[in-house]
Amino acid sequence: MKPTIRAIETEFLGERFRSRLEAKWARVFHALNIPFTFEPEGFELEEDGQVSRYLPDFWLSTFGAWVEIKPESPSERERKLARLLHQGHGAPVLVVCGVPGKHFIQAYVNGASHGELGFLFECQFCHVIEVFYLVAPYSDDEWMSVSHLCQCGNASPLSTPRLHRAYAEATGCRFERLPKNMRRALGAV
Ligand SMILES: [Zn+2]
């Protein structure tokens, strides 16, 4: 018999998430004061007479973007759903793959691969959190903002202590257990 696998439901801030991975990302958004709504709305998406149902994971209102969390690269069908949702709804649809913690993470924008997406960046001047992605997959010099929240024009794809902290918090990594040089880099020592 084929073994079955099921994600474990996890509760955070009174919300029940389908998987621990989604709950971890919710913790990241919470730690960074990014308002999120979990599965606010389902959609029927139609193309060539074929109707598919889609319930995206998160709506992030400050970015005006949908975020779908996947443990690994999305399938053809999942990429198609992201593209159709974007075409029908208008807002960007980001498929973010993997556990929070790496600053650059594999991601898809509206169903297309953009290589390693920075995803969450902090402007080191005005301190807003932005979503950035690479314009062309695996190019490393042309970044595009999804949210255009940084008005000072200084947001850059660099990691910051605030982001490190949020990732550490979300993944349950005890801050005190981080190596001393890392704690110093994060301004804690
Ligand atoms: Zn700024």
- 7-19 tens-digit pLDDT: 667 777 777 888 8
Asked whether residue 3 is domain-assigned, the answer is no
**Ligand 1 centroid, distance to 49 Cα (angstroms):** 45
Q: How far apart are CA 50 and CA 118, in angstroms?
A: 34
pLDDT in tens, 79-90: 999 999 999 999
Task: Check whether 39 has a pLDDT greater than 80.
Answer: yes
Asked whether residue 89 is domain-assigned, the answer is yes
Q: How far apart are CA 74 and CA 54, in angstroms?
A: 14
The range of the structural domain enclosing residue 139 comes to: 10-185
Asked whether residue 39 is domain-assigned, the answer is yes
Average confidence (pLDDT) over 132-145? 72
pLDDT score for 188? 44
Asked whether residue 2 is domain-assigned, the answer is no
**Ligand 1 centroid, distance to 78 Cα (angstroms):** 33
Number of structural domains in the chain: 1
Phi/psi of residue 90, each to 5°?
Answer: 100, -30
Give me the residues paired with residue 44 across strands. Answer: 53
pLDDT score for 7? 66
Q: How far apart are CA 98 and CA 108, in angstroms?
A: 12
Task: Check whether 186 has a pLDDT greater than 60.
Answer: no
**Ligand 1 centroid, distance to 33 Cα (angstroms):** 16
**Ligand 1 centroid, distance to 134 Cα (angstroms):** 19
Asked whether residue 158 is domain-assigned, the answer is yes
Range among 14-18, 86-90, 115-119, 164-168 rated most confident: 86-90
Average pLDDT value for the chain? 82
Q: What is the pTM of this model?
A: 0.81
Asked whether residue 5 is domain-assigned, the answer is no
Asked whether residue 1 is domain-assigned, the answer is no
pLDDT score for 52? 92
Contacts 24+ apart (CB under 8 A), 69-74: 69/19, 69/21, 69/22, 69/25, 69/96, 70/95, 70/96, 70/97, 70/98, 71/19, 71/21, 71/97, 71/98, 72/97, 72/98, 73/97, 73/106, 74/108
**Ligand 1 centroid, distance to 130 Cα (angstroms):** 9
Asked whether residue 75 is domain-assigned, the answer is yes
